[in-house]
Amino acid sequence: MQFFMLVNTQQYRTIWPTETIATEPKTISIIDQTKLPHAFEIRQIGSLAQMITAIKTMQVRGAPLIGAAAAYGIALAMLEDDSDASLHLAVNALKSSRPTAVNLQWAVSRMLACLQSRPNEARHLTAWHEAANIAEEDVAQNKAIAQHGLVLIEKLYQNRKNQNRPLNILTHCNAGWLATVDFGTALAPIYAAHNAGLDVHVWVDETRPRNQGAALTAWELGSHGVPHTVITDNAGGHLMQQGLVDMVIVGADRVTSTGDVCNKIGTYLKALAAFDNHVPFYAAVPSPTIDWTIKDGLIEIEIEQRHGDEVAYLQGLALDGSVQNVRLIPIESAVANPAFDVTPARLVTGIITEQGVFAPHALKRLEIIA
């Protein structure tokens, strides 16, 4: 499968060690996702502190990508100071930078396990190597997700009632290339279907407050030539009632061992509507997104509360071509901004993983495989 991230005819991933003349990189390059779709900017991340800022401000976001970013953050920390104290400081700081996505916890724990028994002077090279492994594994997992998801799409495509119209797939937030190192999770099967010549059309939820759907998913799909239509987060239920949605695919920030899906705020509402209208609802996740330690997502997952200004202000392209922040609500009004919600397993048709598609209650079988 080709790499998808063509930007101005150049291939990109979301994160990569910056090339240097010496053999060892000194910085990590990232695409600054807070600037899209209005500007395509690459940032150099040269320290652990800069990486934590990039994660917190969502210059890098998406559960798989922040896993890889955190791993590279550890490598940058080891380059600065390869002591045990530095390692544990980096581990703790990264783990608390965003509480909900489990990949971040998973990647940091894996880096710690790999590094703590190594001699100090070997740590920085080992860290670069292990972070690159995590990134490559993400790419491989997403390729496998694309293939497993494609089988589902092909089946729905062949069985759709009206063969003269496209298969309509609704997605929420961004779980595409930009949310991963490459390929994406929820969007990977859609790209595979489009590449295979299937007539697919994507309903792109805007995804307030940060508009990752309108900004990132629409930009990705447009760059790849996949037909899509942006809608408000309010519209999906109505479209399902009208028979205009054949399938929902979302990513996830954490999936419980019982199949509860924690994803961007608003996912639960779409799952309810899908269930009410007999539309299959899938989450596409690489296995590091599954948290085998918890059973009840509603009780056990800490939901990140982000700043109200993400709701009160919105960034867009002004008439003069500048990117501006505008305020939407009266200055006196309070604002709340829970970033994620939990969709109970009873509303989920299946979990698409690199090992295959599992019914939520059968997810435990994956624990043995993965």
Contact stretch for a copy of itself (CB under 8 A) within 48-56, 92-100, 157-165, 222-230 = 222-230
Q: Nearest Cα to 282, choosing from 366, 214, 349, 346?
A: 349
Q: Print the binding letters for residues 13-52 with a copy of itself: x by CB under 8 A, - otherwise.
A: ------------------------x---------------
Interior angle at CA 169, CA 284 and CA 315, nearest 5: 85
- Give the position of tokens 């581990």: 91
Q: Can you name the residues that pair with 91 across neighbouring β-strands?
A: none
Look at residue 284 and give its three-state secondary structure. Answer: strand
Site for a copy of itself in 275-294 (CB under 8 A): 276
Instruction: Output the smallest distance, CB 309 to a copy of itself, in A.
Output: 12
Structure-block tokens of residue 276: 């009410």
By CB under 8 A, residue 341 contacts a copy of itself = yes
Q: Print the binding letters for residues 147-186 with a copy of itself: x by CB under 8 A, - otherwise.
A: ----------------------------------------
Task: Return the residue of 11, 309, 338, 359 that touches a copy of itself, per CB under 8 A.
Answer: 338
Task: Return the residue of 4, 12, 191, 268 that touches a copy of itself, per CB under 8 A.
Answer: 268
Instruction: Output the smallest distance, CB 222 to a copy of itself, in A.
Output: 5
By CB under 8 A, residue 241 contacts a copy of itself = yes
By CB under 8 A, residue 342 contacts a copy of itself = yes
Structure-block tokens of residue 111: 């880096």
Show contacts of 110-117: CB within 8 Å, 24+ apart.
110/71, 110/134, 111/70, 111/71, 111/74, 111/75, 112/74, 112/87, 112/88, 115/74, 115/78, 115/87, 116/84, 116/87
By CB under 8 A, residue 348 contacts a copy of itself = no
Q: Print the binding letters for residues 292-311 with a copy of itself: x by CB under 8 A, - otherwise.
A: ------x----x-------x
Distance separating alpha carbons of residues 117 and 15, to the nearest angstrom: 27
By CB under 8 A, residue 230 contacts a copy of itself = yes
Task: Return the residue of 209, 259, 286, 288 that touches a copy of itself, per CB under 8 A.
Answer: 209
Task: Return the residue of 55, 69, 273, 283 that touches a copy of itself, per CB under 8 A.
Answer: 273
Which residues are catalytically annotated?
253
- Closer CB to a copy of itself, residue 275 or residue 358? 275
Structure-block tokens of residue 164: 């003269």
Contacts with a copy of itself: how many residues (CB under 8 A)? 65
Site for a copy of itself in 93-152 (CB under 8 A): none
By CB under 8 A, residue 369 contacts a copy of itself = no
Q: Could you tell me if residue 368 is left (phi over 0), alpha (psi between -120 and 50 degrees) or otherwise beta?
A: alpha
- Closer CB to a copy of itself, residue 198 or residue 303? 303
Structure-block tokens of residue 2: 């080709």
Per-residue CA distances from 228 to 46, 48, 176, 201, 321 (Å): 37, 38, 14, 5, 24
Q: What DSSP letter does each residue of 301-322 carry, written as one string? A: SPPPB--THHHHEEEEE-TTS-
Contact stretch for a copy of itself (CB under 8 A) within 69-77, 99-107, 180-188, 326-334 = 326-334
Burial class (CB in 10 A: 0-12, 13-18, 19+), 363: buried
Q: What is the DSSP letter of 289?
A: G
User: What residues line the site for a copy of itself (CB under 8 A)?
Assistant: 37, 203-204, 206-209, 211, 214-215, 218-219, 221-222, 227-239, 241, 264-266, 268-270, 272-273, 276, 298, 303, 311-319, 324-330, 332-338, 340-342
